[in-house]
Amino acid sequence: MGAVGMWAAALGSVAVLAQPAVKPEFGVQHASDDARFVTNWILDADDHRGMPFAVVDKKDARIYVFDAGGRLSGSAPALLGQAVGDDSAPDVGAHTQAGEVPIPERTTPAGRYISRPGRNLDGEHVVWVDYAAAVAIHRVRPGANLRSRQARLASATPDDNRASLGCVVVPEAFYDTVVQPLLGRSRAVVYVLPETRPVHEIFGAL
């Protein structure tokens, strides 16, 4: 090998050493073991394929949003489906459009979803997680129950955060400053952690 070849090979070695695997940093957030496991898996496997992504921890009623490089951009409490469960009912999308969703169908389904920005029937900007099942990430909405929902989001416990038809509802400021800039402009990946099955059962097999 000539001097030029040796120099190029050395540079190549340096480049490899200079690019360690990205590890999730949660900062002051007390993320659960499940959230840390899935986020580590996402980055180790490059499962997000260079897209921004969000991890929704249903047990903790919290959402974590990461940029395309795997850096945490923000975290917030979230309201989730009133019913416990990790699957969507077959007709929940049609029932949602009709405005009549039975309580057992009000689940936030677990899994990996390619999300996309869009609008709901009221023209409100949302991030569609599962369009067919009418599951989206959106702001807490004005209305008769606004103060109640804001209080649930502000409480110190996740026990009172089961309040939606299945969507992931976040504080308005968090949606405007974190969700919409990162997830609301192009496709992204949303990982919803299960609450009735082990997290490894869903994400370890992917």
pLDDT higher for 165 or 23? 165
Per-residue pLDDT, 205: 55
CATH of the domain at 52: 2.40.440.10
Per-residue pLDDT, 17: 36
144-161 pLDDT per residue, tens: 789 999 999 999 999 999
Q: In which domain, by residue range, is 41 found? A: 33-203
Per-residue pLDDT, 9: 41
**Domain annotation covers residue 119:** yes
Give residue 4's pLDDT band: very low, low, confident or very high (50, 70, 90). very low
Q: What percentage of the chain reaches a pLDDT higher than 90?
A: 69
Per-residue pLDDT, 12: 43
Q: How many domains are there within the chain?
A: 1
**Domain annotation covers residue 11:** no
Per-residue pLDDT, 20: 47
6-12 contacts, C-beta under 8 A, 24 or more apart: none
**Domain annotation covers residue 70:** yes
Q: What is the mean pLDDT of the chain?
A: 86
**Domain annotation covers residue 44:** yes
**Domain annotation covers residue 53:** yes
Q: How many CB atoms lie within 10 A of CB 175?
A: 22
**Domain annotation covers residue 26:** no
26-80 pLDDT per residue, tens: 877 889 999 999 999 999 999 999 999 999 999 999 999 999 999 999 999 999 9
**Domain annotation covers residue 9:** no
Q: What gap in Å lies between CA 174 and CA 74, rounded to an integer?
A: 8
The least confident of 87-96, 104-113, 176-185 is: 87-96
Per-residue pLDDT, 21: 53
**Domain annotation covers residue 141:** yes
